[in-house]
Amino acid sequence: MHRTIAQAVRRPPAPDGVAGDAAQRPAGPVDPGWPSPAGSSARPAWVQVWFTSAMRDILLPYLADLGERWQAGTASIAAEHFASTLIPGRLAGLARGWGSGHGPQALLACPPGELHDIPLMIFGIVLNRNGWRIGYLGPSTPVEELARAAATSHPDPVVLAATVPETLEQVRPELTSLARRVPLALAGAGATPQTASATGARLMTRDPVTEAEQTRWPQ
């Protein structure tokens, strides 16, 4: 779990007026660190406010905080299950229909061995709300499958997200070959400047919401 959150999530800057200490947040129904709105424990805050701000200002900081608490041994198993099951389910609902439309297409995946895709889902949802069509291959995608999908869908860009550098380093030759054929971007805490430079990929260094908001349509 420490690799799921603490390394996977790039913590966005705290918004004005929002305390960074989880102890100051209203308690949620499963995890005391979950920032449910005052007076409501049934529905999380991020489904009640504008989704982009909620993901950047509530969900991503929560996930980063949960990872830190998990590493410190203060997060419960229930909190871990909440993050690994309920949150992806909610995100899947927001992602419904994201492959349809007439905008440019982005192809998103995690490399072989990478199972943690919550930040990548967030990136795709925000990107879709900005007019993009999303092709989503999900966790632990073989590079050859990614290359086949890219050859048939002609995406711009292909985004590969990883929580640790090893998952990208072990497929560096395949990524170098892929980057010669399609615009390739590497994201997540596992994406390093060294790997991006060696493969010819673009490095995404900001949190998923900011990266999605600043990804421009291809010319």
Domains, the chain, ranges and CATH?
A: 22-94 (no CATH), 105-213 (3.40.50.280)
Tell me which amino acid residue 139 is: P
Q: What is the mean pLDDT of residues 125-139?
A: 95
- pLDDT higher than threshold 80 for residue 136: yes
Per-residue pLDDT band at 79 (split at 50, 70, 90) = confident
**Percentage of the chain surpassing pLDDT 70?**
77
- pLDDT higher than threshold 80 for residue 46: no
Torsion angles phi and psi, residue 109, rounded to 5 = -160, 165
Per-residue pLDDT band at 27 (split at 50, 70, 90) = very low
- pLDDT higher than threshold 90 for residue 166: yes
41-45, 68-72, 129-133, range with greatest mean pLDDT: 129-133
- pLDDT higher than threshold 90 for residue 8: no
Q: What is the mean pLDDT of residues 5-32?
A: 45
- pLDDT higher than threshold 70 for residue 202: yes
Would you list the DSSP string of 175-204?
HHHHHHHS-EEEESTT--HHHHHHHTPEEP
- pLDDT higher than threshold 60 for residue 71: yes
Q: When comparing pLDDT for 121 and 58, which is higher?
A: 121
Taking the C-alpha atoms of residue 21 and residue 52, their distance in angstroms, rounded to an integer, is 22
Q: What is the mean pLDDT of residues 19-43?
A: 44
Taking the C-alpha atoms of residue 163 and residue 81, their distance in angstroms, rounded to an integer, is 19
Per-residue pLDDT band at 70 (split at 50, 70, 90) = confident
Residue 38, Cβ neighbours under 10 Å: how many?
9
Per-residue pLDDT band at 23 (split at 50, 70, 90) = very low
Residues in the chain: 219
The predicted structure's pLDDT at residue 76: 85
